Structure 1
Amino acid sequence: MASTRYVMLFPLILALLVFFANAIPQDAINDLCSQTQDKNFCRNTIGADPRTKAAADLNGVLLVATSQTINQVIDGSSHIDAIKGGISDELGQNRLGVCDSDYENALTKFQEAWSKANEGAFMEVITFVQDGTNAVIDCINVYRRHGPIEGNPLDYFNQNVFKLSEIILIVNNKLIG
């Protein structure tokens, strides 16, 4: 009976060995994060994501970073929905409307970047990431023009999108060679 248990455990042990043998080394993630402007952010997002630890190669890391960016954009859009009712002035409503549109555009662009990364079309990833980031920049700029300069209520999400975009472009450039 004991030998039957070992025979049954063998496939599980083999699967775990293959999984960990194909995972991207932690040194590669540390190297990636050391190239970013905010190393702690990189380690706490990309480095801590279980999908990164399971990624077999840099393309997997690229998909994780792009996915996290998409999540930030979705969270930013949800934040817009949550604060809309609390803004009563016309200028504030207009600015938030621009950001809503910009975040919808950014979502589309980052989803396209993910698709292109998944296809291995790394040169096209650059364009979509730049376009998505530029949409977020427009949301920032709307609070600096046409009236008094105000703090952007999406600053947290904006900054996270910038930092993740940097990570995407660093990984993507490594894949291009």
Structure 2
Amino acid sequence: MTSPINCLSILVIPLLVTSLLYQVSARQKVDEAFLRSVCQKVKDPDFCFSTLKADPRTFAGASLAVVSIAIVIDTIQVAVDQIPGLFRDLSDRVDRIRMENCQRDFNDGLLTLRNAYAASASKNYAQSTSLIIDTINKIGACDNSYKIPPVRKSPIADATTNVLKKCDIAVAAIVTISA
């Protein structure tokens, strides 16, 4: 007959080993060299490096994947907050419809990124990456709507570019951490 201590050790020892291995693998030291290695995977490495280095959360001990998604969430939230004020300056019906669609795309993207954040926090990197790509497609749809006739410059073109570049950073961080 097995004693309660033997049963307990059968359960606890594997958990301790797993925990120790997790601590070693999950705690990638975030320094400038590590940031540069992540940023080499994106289209604009200098923007990536300056974005990550400027955010204090990068060095606060959280997963870089989680931090990079949080950075995108902050950026998209600024754009979402900006959009309602843009409607005052839009008198053309086509421009209003495009901005309404962009508002929906950005709001959907924000919700999707929050889910990506949760997935990344629970180490579900495949789902997190998929959700970020979904956000990229939503924001891209907004951007593309201004490229069809009548072609016009989007009032949120800079915000769109910023969100897309930061999504690229988040995907690179996830790829690096999950490798």
TM-score (norm 1): 0.80
- Equivalent residue number for residue 125 of structure 1: 128
Q: Can you list the C-alpha shifts for 1:96-122, whole angstroms capped at 9, x where unaligned?
A: 000000001100111110000001101
**Contact 2:146–2:154, Cα closer than 8 Å, also in 1:** yes
How many residue pairs are counted as aligned between the two chains?
A: 153
1:52 Cα offset (Å): 0.5
1:176 Cα offset (Å): 2.5
**Contact 1:116–1:122, Cα closer than 8 Å, also in 2:** yes
- Equivalent residue number for residue 54 of structure 2: 48
- Whole-angstrom distance in 2 between the partners of 1:41 and 1:98: 28
Q: Can you list the C-alpha shifts for 1:12-62, whole angstroms capped at 9, x where unaligned?
A: xxxxxxxxx985222101221233221221122112211112225xxx111
- Equivalent residue number for residue 141 of structure 2: 138
The residue type equivalent to 1:103 in the other structure is F
**Contact 1:42–1:167, Cα closer than 8 Å, also in 2:** yes
5 Å-filtered alignment, 1:32-111, equals: 32-55=38-61, 60-111=63-114
- Whole-angstrom distance in 1 between the partners of 2:84 and 2:40: 36
- Equivalent residue number for residue 6 of structure 1: none
- Equivalent residue number for residue 21 of structure 2: none
- 1:149 matched to 2:154: no
- Whole-angstrom distance in 1 between the partners of 2:119 and 2:101: 27
Query: Secondary structure at 1:88's aligned position in 2?
Result: coil
The residue type equivalent to 1:44 in the other structure is S
- Show structure 2 runs of 5+ residues with no match: 1-26
- Whole-angstrom distance in 2 between the partners of 1:171 and 1:42: 10
1:138 Cα offset (Å): 0.8
Kindly tell me: are residues 160 and 28 of structure 1, through their superposed partners in 2, closer, same or farther at Cα, counting changes over 3 Å? same
Query: Secondary structure at 1:55's aligned position in 2?
Result: coil
- 1:175 matched to 2:177: yes
Kindly tell me: are residues 130 and 22 of structure 1, through their superposed partners in 2, closer, same or farther at Cα, counting changes over 3 Å? closer
- Show structure 1 runs of 5+ residues with no match: 1-20
TM-score (norm 2): 0.80
Kindly tell me: are residues 149 and 119 of structure 1, through their superposed partners in 2, closer, same or farther at Cα, counting changes over 3 Å? same
- Whole-angstrom distance in 1 between the partners of 2:36 and 2:129: 23
Say which is worse superposed, 152-161 or 101-110, in terms of deviation.
Answer: 152-161
Q: Can you list the C-alpha shifts for 1:68-120, whole angstroms capped at 9, x where unaligned?
A: 11111111112211211111111111110000000011001111100000011
- Whole-angstrom distance in 1 between the partners of 2:103 and 2:28: 41
- Whole-angstrom distance in 1 between the partners of 2:60 and 2:113: 22
- Whole-angstrom distance in 1 between the partners of 2:54 and 2:134: 27
